[in-house]
Chain A
């Protein structure tokens, strides 16, 4: 099914622990609707994956299965060497190591920016307040909005809110970061500030899986681009080949639609 397995994927590794995420024959249905069809995907530690495809193709569902916001009904998903099952303990461990940034930010409106960032370290990692504050300020610095720490999310622009959301995820020091269309809800002039932060993050070795249509971003930082349609992985390739030399008809059609508008 995959058109051109990349070198990284072809190497057979006996130890699944070398992969950040592995998905084997994963299927998911919403009622009768088959959202994910036979997904096979291995993500190496430190790899940057970009997932794109038309809306309704199952790309969000795919990454939401990685931290169990959605449940898969068939197949096997392991994250950091731990298999996702109904075991709530495993799910909690995985969620601690997997950060997620949402399309609509999902910041907590009743807490300040700083409190948004320290909540999970304090309550999930049991970190002392002073330490959590210090780490939060460090990451707010990194996303370039330390001066907003005491404001409420409602007082910030969309771009600033999304950067807070990224800082909030980073405060848990996750090994994997999932991005679910992080720039789709932003005004055009704010997209760049968020992408800049993401590009900077990408250079720091964290495993990133991004659902996005930002093709510039995909080319700059992506190690692999995955194209999905109708719940299937249609094509995966390195960014250069993916954009310049797409193999599949549906990929070509999709690319022509998003690149020539």
Chain B
């Protein structure tokens, strides 16, 4: 489908415009930089919602497609377009951005560089996030995939706390390593496409390539490892807790909430559609890694003494669920995984934002330094509690719908994986309730007697996040209706159909 309005390009350029505007401001005018950044992210969010209203949800083709020749001699195009899955992830990115700006109003000061630079980096990152989910040219995707490391690197290394430089380098090296493997696969794809009719980087065209199974397996691994590091999946996870611990709250929210989803999104968009046979070959191994991630991440979260690391490990558990849902290859698993990506962004985002406020008030991220906050700061305590309930997927909150879809979608094809994954549900109760008890319950411990409760700005930032968590728990249809056709299409492309109920052989439906 073509559109008269270049929706995606406009959406991607808007944050850059804001960044340019901030760059033109005086360095001392910090408030103006913040306001411009907040205003820009709001405009982008509004534009994205307007675009989503135009989306034809029953149309499984890519929509808002734009194609311009970029480097014709190599067949590289600036080609963008979205299906339901990409649209949902773009919405997630642009909705979280203004919340991150508002919630972390003061976290940009005290960094290595100016406040101005912080917001420029943030807005550039927003452009990259929109780009990486919209690209339909593999080369363009790669460029965004790698280029988004730059603003994140500077955001962690320049504005974080503690061992921020080391964490930033670790993040960078890890991602670069994955990126290089993917690059090798991309080159090979390009070569193969040349042998089979014409050089191209177009995702749809590449999905029709003929490959020997060995080639497919190798190329698949190149993509998959890059995405498994990004997601991250066990055992490629160790960069995430370090990065999350050192980054500012806002950066962590974007890192865990959005950037990591590039990994799971990449698995759907590239691993599954480009290499359906290799996907089948590796599915058992990947499911094992996913199940290990669920359980391992949960145990590690239980064992953490630092709020930020705890949340990072819960995310590793959650990414295990998402990966399991993707590779279960059922419509419930797939729709559930994409919905999970969206819901996880909000629920972990909320958890990180509130934890960040607690940490900045107390001046420590050690769980043991808190105690009795329910009496001192009731609103903050409630916000943390609700975010925690969402993290353990309490029915009635959004993450329950996605987690249950993943589990039931996995069960119909891989019952053992689903049953083991269900143990993660019990562990989730522990990794949420243990910090809740330590920090919010019990007597008020020294140092916490006079912490201030959330101020108006913080309440305005967290309220919409919690509202979305509750609303989508009871009424997930607006998102599911967009996701379902794309998810079903992806599975059909990969050559799978949903397993039938086992009684169908006997009685019919």
Q: Say whether A associates with B.
A: no
